[in-house]
Amino acid sequence: MTAKEILSLTAVQLGKKIKDGEVTSVEAVKAVLDQIKAMEPLLNSFVTIEEEKALEQAEEVQKRIEAGELTGPLAGVPVAVKDNICIDGMKTTCSSKILWDFVPTYTATAVENLKRSGAVILGKTNMDEFAMGSTTETSAYGATRNPWNPDHVPGGSSGGSCAAVAAAECFYALGSDTGGSIRQPASFCGVTGLKPTYGTISRYGLIAYGSSLDQIGPVAKDVTDCAAVLEVLASHDEKDSTSVERKDCDFTEALRDDVKGMRIGIPADYLGEGLDLEVREAVLKAARILEEKGAILETFDLGMVEYAIPAYYVIASAEASSNLSRFDGVKYGYRAKEYDGLHGMYKKSRSQGFGPEVKRRIMLGSFVLSSGYYDAYYLKALKTKALIKKAFDEAFSKYDVILGPASPSTAPKLGESLSDPLKMYLGDIYTISVNLAGLPGLTVPCGKDSKGLPIGVQFIGDCFKEKNIIRAGFAFEQNRSYEMPQMAADAMAGKEEK
């Protein structure tokens, strides 16, 4: 197979070809490393690339596949991991200066699960610093650019993972989603991203941002890949007390092109003011395709939508202010060069080590937890969270799946969002409440705007009902073929000519 042929495959397709002996894991890794070399100067999707380790792993995995020890659908397939997920011996920075040299001595359970299935890890992908942001511009290691148009952002915070998948720099990637950090950049980059029900994938080894909202999830070229990867990632983990024991993790079982009788609700509150008309059009078109396939569509009022953003920023920031207090220059990571005493060291190391968005959220979180403000902000936000969950519970008593946009617009230009953080926060409106309610959400590409930027449709399921959204997403994507950004295709074409 040519490099271009290899790189055009989905993860599951590649896994099958490796198993069938049509291509080796080493060939796939080499192809993808070449693509990384071609794309990285333009995109900056990666913070760390482990070329040698990846080739070594590929050789080992290939042997085990040939020996019949590894038989899973993803054995030998190269993957990229978001830089907030710990891997033993591999630099893990959260795209922050404060962890510039941090090398964990342990591996996240999600990555252990991947390794057990024969995944080959290429390196760590860029992200908004500590997953705080919607553009991957807050990274201390430079912004990642959108492969569809490098003047635009890839979204965030898993912008590196989504851009890398879109640009064929890997076959799938791990992201993390606290308020939309998988689904929104997947939508901006024209790839598929899934955030499972809270507790489905172990958080052990995921560097926490908002612990009660964080979930790891897959980013891939299609729904089939996402389901297959999720099947590998989901596990009950004794090392994570919030991990849930599930018996229904055979997610690929739901890959059926059948939505007959599926009840799909479209929240009217998701289609109103602030939503880009082209996005609205594309999302409604996706809904109509499912209707044609036999789904029952209905528009309804979800409610509570306007409260999701303030509740989210209070809860996530409160948790973050505490979670990030361990980065103090004492044990690992960045320490200021000159300082006066212990408190001077804390202050200087943290002032110099954290970027402005992280500082903003630490200050916000510290404020809402302060005595005298706790009840008014933090407790009220928790109550709001409970009401949002209740609104979804009511909706899911009527619908199997909720359908809507993933983001009010397509990817903005670089630099547009950072100047107005409030506007950036409002961009999370369709994804955030899913985290507050602990629900699963899936974004699937559904078209492009007039600027040629991808648009994603989001499917939201009830808790533990990933199979419903996988089925809806799979049925929908049967109507379209995977589209690769021109830039990525050109890089491959260039190689063919040589």
List the catalytic residues: 82, 157, 181
242 near other proteins, rule: CB under 8 A:
yes
Cα 209 from Cα 84, distance rounded (Å)? 9
Cα 219 from Cα 176, distance rounded (Å)? 9
Q: Which two tokens stand for residue 96?
A: 């922050």
Q: Which two tokens stand for residue 210?
A: 């908002």
User: Judging by DSSP bridges, how do beta strands 78-82 and 120-125 pair with one another?
Assistant: parallel
Helical axes 223-233 vs 466-477, angle rounded to 10°:
150
470 near other proteins, rule: CB under 8 A:
no
331 near other proteins, rule: CB under 8 A:
yes
Report whether 392 contacts 439 (CB < 8 A): yes
Residue of 268, 330, 386, 493 interacting with other proteins (CB under 8 A): 330
Cα 422 from Cα 440, distance rounded (Å)? 26
Is residue 336 classed exposed, middle or buried when 0-12, 13-18 and 19+ CB atoms within 10 A define those classes?
middle
Q: With left for phi above 0 and alpha for psi between -120 and 50, is residue 76 left, alpha or beta?
A: left
409 near other proteins, rule: CB under 8 A:
no
* Smallest distance, other proteins to C-beta of residue 163, A: 23
Report whether 339 contacts 352 (CB < 8 A): no
Cross-strand bridge partners of residue 337: none
Report whether 119 contacts 126 (CB < 8 A): no
Measured at the alpha carbon of residue 326, what is the angle toward residues 335 and 313, in degrees to the nearest 5? 115
> Which positions from 345 to 374 touch other proteins by CB under 8 A, shown as an x/- string?
-x-------------------x--xxx--x
Element (H, E) at 474: helix 466-477
First-last CA distance in the chain: 15
Please tell me the count of residues contacting other proteins according to CB under 8 A.
Answer: 45
Element (H, E) at 458: strand 454-461
* Smallest distance, other proteins to C-beta of residue 456, A: 29
52 or 245: whose CB is closer to other proteins? 245
27 or 328: whose CB is closer to other proteins? 328
Is residue 339 classed exposed, middle or buried when 0-12, 13-18 and 19+ CB atoms within 10 A define those classes?
middle
8 or 202: whose CB is closer to other proteins? 202
Q: Considering only 46-54, 114-122, 137-145, 240-248, which stretch makes contact with other proteins by CB under 8 A? A: 240-248
Residue of 36, 208, 255, 432 interacting with other proteins (CB under 8 A): 208
102 near other proteins, rule: CB under 8 A:
yes
Residues 8-27 that bind other proteins (CB under 8 A): none
* Smallest distance, other proteins to C-beta of residue 113, A: 15
* Smallest distance, other proteins to C-beta of residue 236, A: 12
371 or 397: whose CB is closer to other proteins? 371
325 near other proteins, rule: CB under 8 A:
yes
* Smallest distance, other proteins to C-beta of residue 316, A: 10
* Smallest distance, other proteins to C-beta of residue 238, A: 7
322 near other proteins, rule: CB under 8 A:
yes
481 near other proteins, rule: CB under 8 A:
no
Note the residues at the interface with other proteins (CB under 8 A): 84-86, 92, 94, 99, 102, 104-106, 108, 203-208, 210-212, 238-242, 318-319, 321-322, 325-328, 330-332, 342-343, 346, 366, 369-371, 374, 378
